[in-house]
Structure 1
Amino acid sequence: MDSKKVIVMALNDELESAYPPLNISIGAASTGADVVLAFSRNGINILDDHYIPIPSKGKEYLANALNDFKATSIGDLLSVAVNLGVRFVVPDIDVPENKIVSELPFEKVPLKWLLNEAAAADLFVHF
């Protein structure tokens, strides 16, 4: 049986927007799916080695709640995703080279490639 293809897009870098794409990517990869996690120009900061997730205005309580529940950090989730074989991509449209400061493996891809992959995927989600 062919493995399922899952494309997940991280569209924003606010705290409440960073966890869902990582959790879905990790969950899908743990079932053996071929997973691509794409970061938009507004989500690319999640890959930054010095990323500090800040909640959106009015959702400041989330930072304390995640801390109180001892939620896994974004950095640790990124490492788990890498270890499970999640492929990190960044569409090359208007993302300058120096915008991405990360030791994590990622590749720049044409936006057209990403759209074609999403169209052919078994599941495509974005947050």
Structure 2
Amino acid sequence: MDPKKVVLFVLHSELESAYPPLNIAVGAVSSGAEVILAFGRDGVDILRSDYIPIPSKGGAYLANGLYDFGAPSIMELLEIASGMGVRFVVIDEDHVPTKWPIERKELRWILNESADADLFVHF
């Protein structure tokens, strides 16, 4: 049986947009799925080494709740995902200062990949 294919497209860098796709990516790759985590122009900030996960206006409760619960940070989730083989793809960006292994692709590539995915979600 072929592994399931999961494509997650991160379009924003606010905390509430960054956390869900990383959680899904780690969960999916843990269950044996092939996972592509693609980052759009605004979402790519998550991959920067100086990224600070700031919630949207009125969303400070989320940051506090994640901290109080002892949930992994964005950087920890990226580390786990990278270590487990999640592919990081940057869409339509030439230079992204990051320590993560990234592939650079055009938007049409991610749309084609999502067409035959078992799960495609964007945040």
Normalising by structure 1, we get a TM-score of: 0.93
| TM-superposed deviation, 1:50 | 1.2
| 1:8-27 mapped onto 2 (5 Å cutoff) | 8-27=8-27
Question: Do structure 1's residue 106 and structure 2's residue 98 form an aligned pair?
Answer: no
The reply to whether residue 40 of structure 1 matches residue 40 of structure 2 is yes
Structure 2 distance, partners of 1:90, 1:31, is 24
Query: Paired residue for 1:117, among 88, 104, 113?
Result: 113
SS state of the match for residue 50, structure 1? coil
> Who is 1:91 aligned against?
91
- How many residues align? The count is 123
Residue aligned with 2:21, SS: helix
Unaligned runs of at least 5 residues, structure 2: none
Q: TM-score, normalised by structure 2?
A: 0.95
CA distance in structure 2 between the aligned counterparts of 1:63 and 1:110, rounded to whole angstroms: 32
**Structure 2: how far apart are the matches of 1:48 and 1:77?**
14
Q: Which runs of 5+ in 1 are unaligned?
A: none
Aligned identity (percent) is: 59
- The answer to whether the 8 Å contact 2:3/2:33 transfers is yes
